[in-house]
Copies of this chain bind each other. A is one copy, B any other.
Amino acid sequence: MSEIVARLRGALGARVHTDAATLASHRRDSWALAQLHDWLGRGAPTALAVVRPGTVEEVATTLRLCRAARVPVIPFGGGSGVCGAVEARPDAIVLSTRGLEGMVSLDARNLTASFRAGTMGGEAEQRVQKEGLTIGHWPQSVDVSTVGGWVATRAAGQFSTAYGAIEDLALALEVVLPDGSVLRTRETPRASAGPDLRQLFMGSEGTLGVVTEVTFSLRSLPESRRLAAFHFGSLDAGLEAIRRFMRAGWRPPVVRLYDALESQRQFAKQCPDGRSMLILVHEGPASAVAAELAGCAELYTEEGGVAADTSAVEHWLEHRNQVPGFRELNERGLVVDTIEVAATWDRVLPMYHAVVTSLRELPEVVLASAHSSHSYRSGTNLYFTFAARVDDKERMPEIYIECWRRAIRATLASGGGIAHHHGIGRVRSEFLVNEIGDTGVDVLRALKRSLDPDDLLNPGVLVPASDAVRA
């Protein structure tokens, strides 16, 4: 047994796991390439041990002992990340936050609820719904991700167009820093008291601290929910309709527009061939929802939209969190993944065409499509799906990487941002410098050095290595 494992065991006893099953289930997150490597028989190695602290103090102890011994620590939440931010190594300790579970407090009057970071998202949402409240954060991974993971990856959920992303929902955080000290931000609705320190840890992907508790600013469950769906002649026409209703000041929580290919794939029954499907969920006070439904419908119609059966929306609501297993696809000779990017309105359509075209130029690519799922006054995201058929399975990883590179280069060339809500991890790390610039990378490195001078917290992630590739 290595010295650090002995020390951790001395301090934390049964919180330290070294059995093969636990080590194996904490080797990686849900990154498609990591899964592919597993299938090819050269998956990520296991760590020295998995520590599952049950208290903030135990998290601090873990970080302090590892720091003293210069041992890397890899924070692990639900393991549902799709960018490879989590990958074990033989000289490191994996710190699972799943021992920090459950609700700490709920204040129905203040609309606040605090959860320990390892609480699964779906459980947190269910808990507050019992009181007629909602967190309103619905990533596709809601049932397999933790509330701490939402913060660490800077997540956005399916209802973000009205309710915002994690930075709009997390009122306060508790974070253990690499030196074991504990930061608790104040539970205040808003402050002008220096830089917002919460923001350092949102999207930090386990590199600057371990989130141990999240306090949400909740909402009341809406009085009314109404569904709407429209067909558009093209993706362009649908995007223009979204742009216009965002501009007018309407804010339906769910706004999803699919290109012709995805419309056909997702809504075979409801969507005529070649059309773009727009589905919407309107929520709020009944009279506000009625006004929004009518106001938006008028605008969609002006833009050439044709009212569609809302069974499409019901279908989506029912199936929205189902994710296909990559293993099964790999076995069928396919490499598949999704890539979410974002841009201001004028860049969205050129970016769509550039990415899809660049992907399709690769002979192996059999599918490249996209939808928009998070809109803003000044732009929207695009969520691409690609599939490539690769007969020689040894070539699958290189085709996978080539697809990503094509998509990200086309995004950058179109003036888009490379990551809307999944994060950087390992899959985007070579392009981070293109996203935030040389100075941005310098600032990120300075932050990292100042909080984690020995580069022990999730090393290799987020902060680019000096040989970073450029698009």
Residues of A within 8 A of B (CB): 107, 109-112, 153-156, 165, 167, 171, 177, 181-197, 199-205, 208, 217-220, 222-223, 243, 247-250, 283-285, 287-288, 290-292, 294-295, 342-346, 374, 376-381, 415-424, 428, 432, 435-440, 442-444, 446-447, 449-451, 462
- Chain B residues positioned under 8 Å from A450 (CB to CB): 446-447, 449-450
- The answer to whether A295 touches B291 (Cβ under 8 A) is no
* Chain B, residue nearest A344 (CB): B110
- The answer to whether B346 touches A190 (Cβ under 8 A) is no
CA of A249 to CA of B284, assembled, Å: 6
- Chain B residues positioned under 8 Å from A451 (CB to CB): 443, 446
* Chain B, residue nearest A247 (CB): B220
Copies of this chain, tallied across the complex: 2
- The answer to whether B295 touches A191 (Cβ under 8 A) is no
Nearest CB of B to A323, in Å = 18
- The answer to whether A435 touches B379 (Cβ under 8 A) is no
CA of A355 to CA of B245, assembled, Å: 44
- The answer to whether B422 touches A192 (Cβ under 8 A) is yes
- The answer to whether A183 touches B376 (Cβ under 8 A) is no
- The answer to whether A190 touches B111 (Cβ under 8 A) is no
A-B contact pairs, 16 of them (CB 8 A): A110-B344, A155-B192, A171-B378, A181-B439, A185-B440, A186-B436, A188-B344, A189-B377, A190-B381, A192-B420, A193-B418, A195-B201, A195-B444, A219-B247, A447-B450, A449-B450
- The answer to whether B378 touches A110 (Cβ under 8 A) is yes
Nearest CB of B to A414, in Å = 11
- The answer to whether A377 touches B217 (Cβ under 8 A) is yes
- Chain B residues positioned under 8 Å from A188 (CB to CB): 342-344, 379, 416-417
- The answer to whether A193 touches B419 (Cβ under 8 A) is yes
CA of A378 to CA of B114, assembled, Å: 13
* Chain B, residue nearest A343 (CB): B188
- Chain B residues positioned under 8 Å from A199 (CB to CB): 195-196, 199-200
Nearest CB of B to A435, in Å = 5
CA of A417 to CA of B172, assembled, Å: 12
CA of A249 to CA of B447, assembled, Å: 38
Nearest CB of B to A373, in Å = 12
Nearest CB of B to A250, in Å = 7
- Chain B residues positioned under 8 Å from A422 (CB to CB): 192
CA of A342 to CA of B171, assembled, Å: 13
Contact of A444 among B194, B217, B291 (CB under 8 A): B194
* Chain B, residue nearest A249 (CB): B284
